[in-house]
Every structure is written in C-alpha cells, then in structure tokens.
C-alpha cells in the first residue's frame, strides 16, 4: 500500500527534479498547485504537503495567492541536489547515513571540547522531548533531529553545521523509511543519552564512541528497512 507520506516524498522528488531539469533560478515559479496535482496524478492535499516540505527545506517560498517561488540559498542548493538523489534512491539514503557515521562522531568529539551551556541546554531539551514522545513516532523523530542539529552546533564549527544542516529533512526521510523495523525508541533514547552525558562531562573519546555506536545502529535499521520495504 502506498502511504500518504510516500506520495508526499514522490511529489518532493518530482518537484526537485523539475527545478533542476528546467534550470529554474531564484525568483522563478512552479505551476499552480492544481496543475502540479493533475500532472503528477495525486491530490492537491498531497501536493500541498510536498510544497510545504520544500518550503521547510528552503527550496521554495509559499505565499497565498501566488505560485510557488524558487528562492536562493546555499543550503537550498545543497538540499535540493542531495534531497532529490536521496528521496528517489534507497542506495543514496544509505550513503547519506554512511556520511553521517563519518562526520558526526568527529562533531561529537568537538562538542565535548567546545559545547557552551546554551548548547548543553539545547541537547537536554531534545533529550527531554524524546523521552516525552516515546509513544509518538512523529514527535520522537522531530526531537531526534533537533538533538543532532544541537550536537552539530555544539561542535563550534559554523561551516560544518551549515554543510550538515540541510540533511535534517533527509534524516526525517530515513527515519520514516526505517520506522517499521527499527529498534524500540527507548533504545535510541538511551543511545542519545550516552552521547549527551559524554559531551556534558567533556569526555571526547566517549562522545565519539557513543555517537559512532548510535549511527552504526541507525545504519542497520535503515538496511533492514530497505531489505523489507523498498521495491527492487
């Protein structure tokens, strides 16, 4: 059965491909919502959700009564290219997760050295939100993403944070892909708590190891999901 979230992802992928193939520049517009729906054979509600997702990613600007407008942003360009590849290819989604296993443990190491009280508070709030959403998958995923964004900020490297931030929406996609087979949320919460505790006490080695362990488990979740649910 094709779920609404999968239809939304398909709309996002199709619109990103159109922006790329048509060479649309900042200020250019897409067709009206009703035309997109007719062209893709989906409901206007699904198109609306896809457009909203692209607005969150910084790809489009949505104003009532106007066509969706392409906006200019470095993160938008990065997210657009990466987003299209990842949304349309399970292998690319795996590559995104592999990229995170390389980058984020190093970021956790830096965070253990550089995290400010504000950074620690942001990570703590994310942990608390994960704990309060153990039985609400969407809320749990949102808090999970917020934690990783806070970790990247805590690394104290602006370029690193800017490069990795666009992957947040794609991280949500990977979470949805693996939601049917991933380990219990309580286990993922425990992994995040280990990362947080290590950063909080300034233990670089433990922070790196805990982050690597968590991302290795995430990769296994994704591989299991692809094996079980992704069409060949």
Tell which wins on pLDDT, 22 or 72.
22
Cα distances (angstroms) measured from residue 113 to each of 73, 120, 126 = 31, 12, 20
Residue 2 confidence (pLDDT) above 90: no
Residue 154 phi, psi (nearest 5): -65, -20
168 has a pLDDT exceeding 70: no
Query: What pLDDT was estimated at residue 1?
Result: 42
Which two structure tokens, joined as six digits, stand for 21?
A: 């193939």
Give the model's confidence band at 81: pLDDT under 50 very low, under 70 low, under 90 confident, else very high.
Answer: low
**For the segment 171-222, what is each residue's pLDDT rounded down to a tens digit?**
655 565 555 446 789 999 999 999 999 999 999 999 999 999 999 998 887 7
Contact 85, 34 (CB under 8 A): no
- Catalogue all structural domains in the chain, each as residue range(s) with its CATH number: 4-72 (1.10.10.10), 90-227 (1.20.120.530)
Terminal Cα-to-Cα distance of the chain (whole angstroms): 15
Distance CA 107, CA 121 (A): 17
Give the pLDDT mean for 1-11: 71
Mean pLDDT of the chain: 82
Residue 54 clears pLDDT 90, i.e. is over it: no
Dist. CA 229–CA 221, nearest whole Å? 12
């Amino acid at each position: 059965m094709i779920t609404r979230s999968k239809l939304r992802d398909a709309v996002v992928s199709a619109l990103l491909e159109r922006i790329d193939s048509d060479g649309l520049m900042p200020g250019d517009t897409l067709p009206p919502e009703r035309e997109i729906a007719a062209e893709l054979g989906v409901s206007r509600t699904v198109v609306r959700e896809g457009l909203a997702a692209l607005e969150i990613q910084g790809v489009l600007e949505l104003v009532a009564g106007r066509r969706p407008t392409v906006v200019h942003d470095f993160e938008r360009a990065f997210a657009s290219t990466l987003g299209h590849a990842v949304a349309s290819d399970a292998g690319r989604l795996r590559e995104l997760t592999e990229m995170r296993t390389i980058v984020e443990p190093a970021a956790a190491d830096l965070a253990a050295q550089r995290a400010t009280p504000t950074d620690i508070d942001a990570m703590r709030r994310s942990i608390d939100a994960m704990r309060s959403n153990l039985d609400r998958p969407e809320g749990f995923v949102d808090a999970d993403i917020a934690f990783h964004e806070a970790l990247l900020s805590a690394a104290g490297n602006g370029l690193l944070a800017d490069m990795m931030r666009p992957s947040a929406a794609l991280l949500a996609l990977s979470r949805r892909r693996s939601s049917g087979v991933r380990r219990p949320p309580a286990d993922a919460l425990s992994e995040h708590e280990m990362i947080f505790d290590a950063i909080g006490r300034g233990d670089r080695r433990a922070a790196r190891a805990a982050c690597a362990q968590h991302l290795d488990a995430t990769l296994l979740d994704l591989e299991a999901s692809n094996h079980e649910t992704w069409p060949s």
